Amino acid sequence: MAESRPRRRLVVLDRDGVINADSDEYVKSPDEWHPLPGSLEAIARLHRAGFDVVVATNQSGVGRGLFSRETLEAIHARMRDAVAAAGGRIAGIYYCPHRPEDGCTCRKPKPGLLRRIEADFGQPLDGVPFVGDKLADVEAALAVGARPIFVGTPRDDTERSRLAELGVETHPDLSSAADALLAR
């Protein structure tokens, strides 16, 4: 009988607002990509502790014609390089290029991106931490049985009450969330 491989430890992160500063004008170039304080070091700590860090991000700026897929890849190359310089590694980046009105299955809160991660990594995301800064991230995590972790400040009372109703773990930032994950 063949030995089964140990299940890899995954953690899924949203990008904008979790790893880097979010912008209402979109992050449209590598020069506009700025890591949030402590985020690169948090990814490095997770990586060193044996986590495969995966990014799942909505990037409707592509569908809106604000930047190309090639530019998005350049932004992601800058992010990977910054994470590597801090001693970490990103095992995969998954993005939805569609606009909200396109009706795709990959735009969070729909679970398409997360289903692709499950397929590519060969394991369900049941119980896997998903760190995000929007209710759409929480809903996507719940849709696949992942464990949602909210970082930042809820945008309004509706979001705050929904997070409380769902009992979602919250932290001020990725660094704090990573510390909590590593303490378990």
Count Cα neighbours of 52 within 13 Å in the Cβ-side half-sphere.
17
Instruction: Outline where DSSP puts E strands in the chain.
Output: 9-13, 51-58, 90-96, 129-132, 147-151, 169-171
Pairing of strands 147-151, 169-171: parallel
Structure tokens at 166: 């769902």
CB 148 within 8 A of CB 130: yes
Q: What residues are annotated to the active site?
A: 14, 16
